[in-house]
Amino acid sequence: MGKGHDDWGLTEDELDRLEDAVEDGIIPKSEVMANRENLKKGNLLVGELIDIWSNDDDDEY
């Protein structure tokens, strides 16, 4: 993501998980960037965001 973990309000482990998810194609980087404030404020957890994108969404609609 190019920023220090302090800018995101995340631990290094959380930031690493996000970067790995982007690199593995699980979540688009644009989605991570769009949710930066939610992550920073604690409204959304890293695991929740990754789970949303990694789940099979065939049964949602």
Compute the mean pLDDT over every residue in the chain, rounded to the nearest whole number.
86
What would the pLDDT profile of 22-44 be if each residue is shown by its tens digit? 999 999 999 999 999 999 999 99
State pTM to two decimals: 0.77
Longest CA span, the chain: 38
Higher pLDDT, 54 or 6: 54
Nearest to 9 by CA among 31, 50, 39: 39
* Mean pLDDT (whole number) for 6-25: 92
Residue written as token pair 């929740």: 48
- The confidence band for 2, taking pLDDT boundaries of 50, 70 and 90, is low
